[in-house]
Structure 1
Amino acid sequence: YAALRIFFTARVADIKPVSMPPLWIALLSGAMIGFISGITGVGGGIFLSPLVLLMGWAAPKETAGVAIAFVLVNSISGLFGYWSNTLTLPPQILYWGIAVIIGGWIGAEYGSHKLANPIIRQVLAGILLLGGAKMLFAALG
């Protein structure tokens, strides 16, 4: 639902300034998303970005920036949780880390300078559809 709504609707946030949520709502939303992300193994940005866009708390480019910071914190927390249970890290972690840094830098440059907000919304909607389909197929076996 969120993916289709994001894809097909132009939000006021794309056109005029947006309003920030109260601090307690932002903290509660972040805690809930972090919890859901932790128990499902799905990155928090997949939950955070639609919430921020659909609630009109930020425009697409700002949403991407917020999601990046959120995903970084969740990823570090998840990595620490994994390490605390196994006391080892996958040997490929260095390669994954380098790939993430390079891909993130290229994506941030391209998204912030080349793509318009409506295109970013459509890309996000596509990612949400893919993520939802992956979760559905994994649940169905």
Structure 2
Amino acid sequence: MAIFGVAAEVMKPTALLLNLFVSLVSFMQFYRGGYFKMKLFLPLALASIPFAFLGGLIIVDAAFYKKILGLLLLIPIARFLFFSKLKFDENKKHQLGLAVLIGAAIGFLSGLIGIGGGIILSPVLLLLRWTNMKESAAISAIFIFVNSAAGLAGQFTRGIHFTTDMYVYVIVAFAGGLLGAYFGALKFRQNALKYILSGFINGCF
């Protein structure tokens, strides 16, 4: 949407709304595959939800918005370019305090920018070795859902802008999310997901 010149006040709620549909479908597929870790998700989500709401209250200048978005998308790129040899199956026990801090920070950015937070959370979980690729995808999917809902709630208090194209966006995103979640959760191997995600993000730049 940024590439095609969609205004920030439209792009932000549109992205959050699309996140609701796609992330829920994705989570259901990864949950079916047995990859969801509730004990890790809870501290992340409980800290992120109120901060995502606060972030949704803030109106961001369009130019500043795009700069923040670009910087945030560098996080997963750095993960795959410089830490590509991490072993995903060597999980460590998560630290509760750190999980709460991460959830709050990403939640605020999620509401502020309208990205849901999964694109930031997933590489963070992998770098900390708290999850493997598919566990990270499962947690990130439902994390995106709750943060997007909280961010939208914050925006509703300030007024929200949708367009008539939203129905098309939702249908296409839902179909793509359903297909992608099916193959990601039940068909593709860990390394395949790594190369697909890193290739897509690099392609955006």
Q: Does TM-score exceed 0.5, indicating one fold?
A: yes
1:69 and 2:128 correspond: no
Q: For 1:48 and 1:115, how far apart are their aligned partners in 2?
A: 21
Which residues of structure 2 form unaligned runs of 5+? 1-77
1:13 and 2:88 correspond: yes
Partner of 1:24: 97
* Count of residue pairs brought into register by the alignment: 128
Matching residue's letter, 1:77: A
1:46 counterpart (103, 116, 119): 119
Q: How many Å apart are 1:86 and its aligned residue?
A: 1.6
1:120 and 2:193 correspond: yes
Q: Deviations over 1:38-74 (max 9, x none)?
A: 3334341111111011111111011111111111112
Partner of 2:173: 100
Partner of 1:3: 80
Matching residue's letter, 2:147: N
Normalized against structure 2, the TM-score is what? 0.54
Which residues of structure 1 form unaligned runs of 5+? 134-141
Q: Deviations over 1:68-102 (max 9, x none)?
A: 11111122222223322225644444443333333
Normalized against structure 1, the TM-score is what? 0.74
CA RMSD of superposed structures (Å): 2.3
Q: For 2:162 and 2:184, how far apart are their aligned partners in 1?
A: 31
Matching residue's letter, 1:51: V
CA contact (8 A) 2:111 2:151 kept: yes
Give identity over the alignment, percent: 33
1:80 and 2:157 correspond: no
CA contact (8 A) 1:37 1:43 kept: yes
Q: For 2:146 and 2:163, how far apart are their aligned partners in 1?
A: 19
Matching residue's letter, 2:141: I
CA contact (8 A) 1:52 1:58 kept: yes
CA contact (8 A) 1:60 1:121 kept: yes
